[in-house]
Each structure stands twice: as C-alpha cells, then as structure tokens.
C-alpha cells in the first residue's frame, strides 16, 4: 500500500530530450565533435599544404647546422653550431633581459610606489605624473624611443662619452672594464658560499634563542659583517687575485672589457621603466590595504616604527602585493618578445624569425616558441598558486 503511494508520488520522468543529464551529455558530445572536426580539418589542410610545398614535418631540423651568427651569445656559439644550440642561445638572451628588467622594475617600482604614498606633496605628485605618463604610452613606442631616438643618436666610437676613463658610451653600446680572475680567485667564491651558510645557521640559532628566552640578537648587522668581512679576509690572504681588463679603442670600435649592446640597454630600460609604473600602483594598493589600526595597535604594544613596518605592515602588505606582482613579472617576460622590433637576438627574433625563415618549418618553430612562453607562464602561475595557498588567511 505504502509502496503504491510512493510510486504515484514520484515525479513523472521527463522525456529524454528534456532530461538535464542527457542534455548535458548530448551538448558536450556536440562541442567535442565540433572541436575534433575543426582540429582534423586544420591538421589535414596543414599536412596537405606542407606536402604541396615539399616541407618535411618533424623536429629533425633542430640537429642541422644553423649557419647564421647571433649578435649576442652568453654561451659559446658559432655559425657551425646546430639550430638547437641557436635556440638555447636565444632562450638565454630572453631570460637575461627578463631578469634584468624584473630586477630594476622591482626596485624602481617599489621606490615610486612608496614615493606615491609619501606625505611630501611634491614627491607624491611627481610619482603620480611619472606613473600616469609612462603607463599610457605603448611599450613598443618607448623601446623605439630609447633605441632609435636616444642610443642610436649617440656619437661614433671615436667620440665616445667617457666616464673616469673606464666606461665608454657610444652608438655601438656601453663598454666597461671586465674583471679577470687570476689564480686563487676560487678561494674568494668559496668564502662567499661559506659566509652564506654561516649566516643561515646563525639566523636559525638567533630565532630559536629569541623564541626560547626573548633575548634579541643583531642578526642583520652581524650578517652584513660576515658577508663583507669573510671574502675580504680571503682576498687579503690570497693577495687580491683579480685584475681589470679595460676596453681599448681598436680600429672602429672598442675591444676587450665588458660590452652591453644598445639593443639590450634600450630594451631593459624601456621594460623596467614601463613595468615599474604598474608595480608602483600594486605596491601602493598593497600598503594602503593594511589598515592604519594595525600600525596603531603595534605602537600600543610597544613596537618601534622599524619593527612595526618589518613585522606587522610589510608581511600583510605582501599578501596583497605578491599575486599581482607575479603577473607583472610574467607580463614583463612576455613583453620582452618586443625585442624582435629592434633586433635584439631573443627567442622570437632568432627562432620565430631567422630559423623559421631559413627552414620553413612554420608549425614546429611557432609551436616551440609558444611552448616556451607557455611553460614559463604556467610555472609562474603554479608558483603563484602555491604562494597564495601558503599565505592565505587561515579562516575559522
């Protein structure tokens, strides 16, 4: 009896074309089918076109001789090296400019961001003008300005701008003395490594002692002393095993010493100045996000301004700052691909430009280039998610 009632109270089953479960399945099958069909069409068209143009697909070309030179290489590279080696050289150049850009953009961005918040009216307004001006001008235009408008207009090597007879600036680049290590230099390197290890264990010991007894230790001053003192002692003991190699004018340009090509200088200048505007805004937002009550509370429990900033304000501000900061680093890395416009030999210029032109392997070359950038950005976002989870407020 009871079962009968239940049977009648059960909702009527909808017809199959109105059932949400079947509808979802049907719709997804439709989308998947469409995507597969599209992919199949593209792949078959591409294969057909490649066959027609007589291009063999595959990554075998990476082993053949490149036969072109690269303006700047961090590792040894000659024209007889393979395409793969050229790829590595280009990738290193990209990473180099990204690292330089990130370094200076961070420092400058933090300075401008703090200046924007300063209670000095003039400084804060100047920071605002800087941010609003450079942020609203396309990056490529800024790169062009620094490269064609400034650095290429510098005098010829013979009329170089000189600083203390050791730095030379001309339209071929910036030349500076290069350190040349001599015998015994490894000793200094090892002393720096030793200093870092000592500082690490000292900081752990100091932290533990403060947690146990409440006594503080001047970790910062002692660390500075160790990191400068230990290598200095090592240098004195080995008799300063390093000389400087000065650039000299030979023929039409300077030889020896360290040289920075103008492409690298203008690209890193434009990238850091442009990205610094965004970082400044992020820093400002981060610091204003920490409510003033936190500072007041820290003062009330007796912390001085320094520890207040270090222990209360900055850790909380960083929680707001780090995620957008990481995505700015990512943007900077992606924007470094604009190097192609001023012929800085980065991944896009060398690989998606020259190599593609020489081999005609469009699909493989573009796929590798995109793959590299995609890998970098996925790595950075994985780091960001990890950091976010670590730093997220533990809510009850």
Partner 1 sequence: MTERKSDSHELGSHPDWSPPASTVGVLGWMRANLFSSPLNFGLTALGLWLIYQIVPPIINWAFIDAIWSGDSPDACRNEGGGPKAAACWIYIDHWFNYLMYGLYPKTEQWRINSAYILLLGGMIPLFIPSFKYKGWISVFLLFVFPVIAYFLFAGGSFDLAIVETPLWGGLFLTLVIAITGIVVSLPIGIVLALGRRSDMPIVRALCVGFIELWRGVPLITVLFMSSVMFPLFLPEGMNFDKLIRALVGVALFSAAYMAEVVRGGLQAIPKGQTEAAGALGLSYWKTMGLIILPQALKMVIPGIVNTFIGLFKDTTLVLIIGLFDFLGVIQATFTNPEWGGFHTTGYVFAAFIYWCFCFSMSRYSMHLEKKLHTGH
CB atoms within 10 A of CB 369: 22
Q: For residue 356, state whether it binds partner 1 (rule: CB under 8 A).
A: yes
Binding segment for partner 1 (CB under 8 A), chosen from 23-31, 103-111, 161-169, 210-218, is 23-31
Nearer to partner 1, 171 or 219 (CB): 171
* Rounded least distance, CB 115 to partner 1, Å: 8
* Rounded least distance, CB 182 to partner 1, Å: 42
C-alpha to C-alpha distances, 313 to 246, 270, 299, 320, nearest whole angstrom? 46, 31, 12, 11
* Rounded least distance, CB 361 to partner 1, Å: 10
CA atoms of 194 and 348, how far apart (whole Å): 40
CA atoms of 185 and 298, how far apart (whole Å): 48
Q: How far is CA 62 from the centre of its chain?
A: 27
Tell which one of 42, 180, 192, 233 touches partner 1 (CB under 8 A): 42
* Rounded least distance, CB 290 to partner 1, Å: 18
Tell which one of 14, 22, 40, 45 touches partner 1 (CB under 8 A): 45
Q: Where are the alpha helices (DSSP H) in 155-261?
A: 185-213, 219-238
Binding segment for partner 1 (CB under 8 A), chosen from 63-71, 104-112, 244-252, 365-373, is 365-373
Tell which one of 84, 110, 144, 167 touches partner 1 (CB under 8 A): 144
Binding segment for partner 1 (CB under 8 A), chosen from 27-35, 82-90, 178-186, 230-238, is 27-35
Nearer to partner 1, 308 or 335 (CB): 335
245: left (phi over 0), alpha (psi -120 to 50) or beta: beta
Tell which one of 138, 229, 305, 315 touches partner 1 (CB under 8 A): 138
**Pattern 110-129, partner 1, x by CB under 8 A:** --------xxxxxx--x---
CA atoms of 274 and 289, how far apart (whole Å): 24
Tell which one of 193, 343, 366, 382 touches partner 1 (CB under 8 A): 366
Q: Which of residues 164-193 bind partner 1 (CB under 8 A)?
A: none
C-alpha to C-alpha distances, 137 to 106, 134, 179, 273, 360, nearest whole angstrom? 20, 5, 39, 11, 35
Nearer to partner 1, 48 or 204 (CB): 48
Strand residues in the chain grouped as ranges (E): 161-163, 167-170, 173-176, 178-181, 242-245, 248-250, 253-255, 258-260
C-alpha to C-alpha distances, 228 to 163, 180, 238, 311, nearest whole angstrom? 27, 20, 16, 26
CA atoms of 396 and 388, how far apart (whole Å): 17
Q: For residue 49, state whether it binds partner 1 (rule: CB under 8 A).
A: yes
Tell which one of 16, 19, 22, 32 touches partner 1 (CB under 8 A): 32
How many alpha carbons fall within 13 Å on the CB side of residue 52?
A: 6
Binding segment for partner 1 (CB under 8 A), chosen from 232-240, 251-259, 362-370, 382-390, is 362-370
C-alpha to C-alpha distances, 356 to 87, 348, 351, nearest whole angstrom? 12, 10, 6
Tell which one of 198, 235, 341, 391 touches partner 1 (CB under 8 A): 341
Tell which one of 269, 320, 321, 338 touches partner 1 (CB under 8 A): 338
Binding segment for partner 1 (CB under 8 A), chosen from 60-68, 148-156, 291-299, 315-323, is 148-156
Residues in touch with partner 1 (CB under 8 A): 24, 27-28, 31-32, 35, 42, 45-46, 48-50, 52, 118-123, 126, 132-133, 135-142, 144-145, 148-149, 153, 334-335, 337-338, 340-341, 348, 352, 356, 362-363, 366, 369-370, 373-374, 377-378
């Amino acid at each position: 009896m009871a079962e009968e009632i239940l049977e009648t109270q059960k909702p009527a089953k909808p017809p199959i074309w109105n059932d949400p479960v079947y509808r979802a399945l049907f719709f997804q099958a439709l989308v998947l089918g469409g995507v597969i069909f599209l992919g199949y069409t593209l792949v078959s068209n591409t294969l057909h076109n490649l066959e027609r143009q007589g291009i063999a697909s595959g990554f075998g070309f990476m082993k053949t001789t490149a036969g072109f030179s690269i303006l700047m290489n961090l590792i040894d590279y000659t024209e007889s090296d393979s395409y793969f080696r050229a790829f590595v050289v280009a990738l290193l150049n990209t990473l180099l400019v990204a690292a330089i850009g990130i370094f200076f953009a961070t420092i400058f961005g933090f300075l401008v961001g703090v200046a924007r918040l300063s209670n000095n009216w003039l400084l804060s307004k100047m920071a605002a003008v800087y941010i609003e001006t450079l942020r609203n001008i396309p990056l490529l235009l800024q790169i062009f300005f620094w490269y064609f408008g400034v650095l290429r207009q510098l005098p010829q090597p013979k009329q170089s701008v000189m600083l203390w007879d050791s730095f030379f600036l001309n339209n071929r680049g910036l030349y500076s003395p290069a350190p040349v290590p001599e015998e015994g230099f490894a000793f200094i390197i090892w002393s720096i490594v030793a200093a870092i290890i000592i500082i690490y264990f000292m900081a752990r010991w100091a932290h533990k002692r403060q947690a146990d007894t409440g006594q503080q230790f001047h970790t910062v001053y002692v660390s500075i002393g160790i990191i400068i003192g230990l290598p200095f002692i090592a240098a004195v003991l080995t008799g300063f095993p390093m000389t400087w190699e000065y650039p000299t004018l030979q023929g039409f340009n300077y030889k020896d010493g360290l040289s920075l090509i103008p492409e690298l200088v203008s690209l890193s200048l434009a990238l850091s100045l442009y990205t610094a505007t965004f970082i400044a805004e992020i820093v400002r937002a981060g610091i204003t996000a920490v409510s003033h009550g936190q500072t007041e509370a820290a003062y009330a429990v007796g912390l001085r301004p320094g520890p207040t900033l270090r222990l209360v304000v900055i850790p909380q501000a960083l929680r707001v700052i780090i995620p957008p900061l990481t995505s700015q680093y990512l943007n900077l890395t992606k924007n470094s691909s604009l190097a192609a416009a001023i012929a800085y030999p980065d991944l896009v210029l060398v690989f998606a430009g020259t190599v593609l032109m020489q081999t005609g392997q469009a699909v493989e070359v573009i796929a590798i280039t995109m793959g590299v950038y995609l890998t970098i950005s996925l790595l950075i976002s994985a780091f960001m998610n990890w950091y976010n989870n670590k730093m997220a407020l533990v809510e009850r």
